[in-house]
């Protein structure tokens, strides 16, 4: 089921999420998030962006891997994720967000991360990601703590975006 995506300006995007449990119907939630993500032509979507304050998100790199064979194809849900390690090597990459349409900015993030999360059967998984997958994971992970990619911009750059951000706020 496709659900509405919450836009910038909604207080829901600034709240901290709580752990998801089996009682929250995680399989259906992840399916709804993936359906919504595909409809929106995105590559990542966190539950708070759908108005659900649970610690889960989905990643689907299919739209990118179709254009570039070097990009690993991943379509997956992450439940109660944690980042357990971040590399000191950081890189800039242009990020956007389905909750902040039409704004793309270069954001500095660690190039590699180690993570721990639960799969759909609540088995614990430990993994290491680098490059684009690490980038998407970190972006979506931030949503679970009420952090948006624009929060990582320097104050001057953020101020320059105020007009566009206010337009998005007024549209909600």
Catalytic positions, please? 140
Write the CA distances from 56 to 31, 101, 133, integer angstroms: 12, 21, 16
With a CB cutoff of 8 Å and minimum separation 6, the contacts of 128 are 112, 113, 114, 115
Q: What is the spatial distance between Cα 45 and Cα 137, in angstroms, rounded to a whole number?
A: 10
Q: Which runs of E-coded beta strand occur in 3-156?
A: 44-46, 56-60, 75-86, 90-97, 100-110, 112-118, 124-130
Residue 108 phi/psi, 5-degree rounding, is -90, 125
């Amino acid at each position: 089921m496709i659900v509405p995506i919450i836009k910038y300006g909604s207080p829901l995007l600034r709240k901290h999420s709580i752990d998801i449990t089996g009682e929250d119907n995680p399989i259906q939630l992840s399916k709804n998030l993936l359906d919504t993500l595909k409809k929106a032509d995105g590559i990542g979507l966190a539950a708070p962006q759908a108005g659900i304050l649970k610690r889960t998100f989905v990643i689907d790199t299919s739209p990118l891997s179709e254009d570039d064979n070097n990009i690993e194809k991943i379509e997956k849900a992450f439940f109660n994720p944690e980042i357990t390690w971040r590399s000191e090597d950081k890189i800039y990459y242009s990020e956007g967000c389905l909750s902040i349409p039409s704004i793309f900015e270069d954001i500095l993030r660690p190039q590699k991360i180690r993570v721990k999360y639960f799969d759909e059967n609540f088995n614990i998984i430990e993994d290491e990601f680098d490059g684009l997958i690490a980038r998407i994971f970190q972006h979506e992970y931030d949503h679970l703590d009420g952090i948006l990619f624009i929060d990582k911009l320097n104050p001057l750059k953020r101020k320059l975006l105020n007009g566009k951000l206010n337009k998005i706020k007024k549209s909600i």
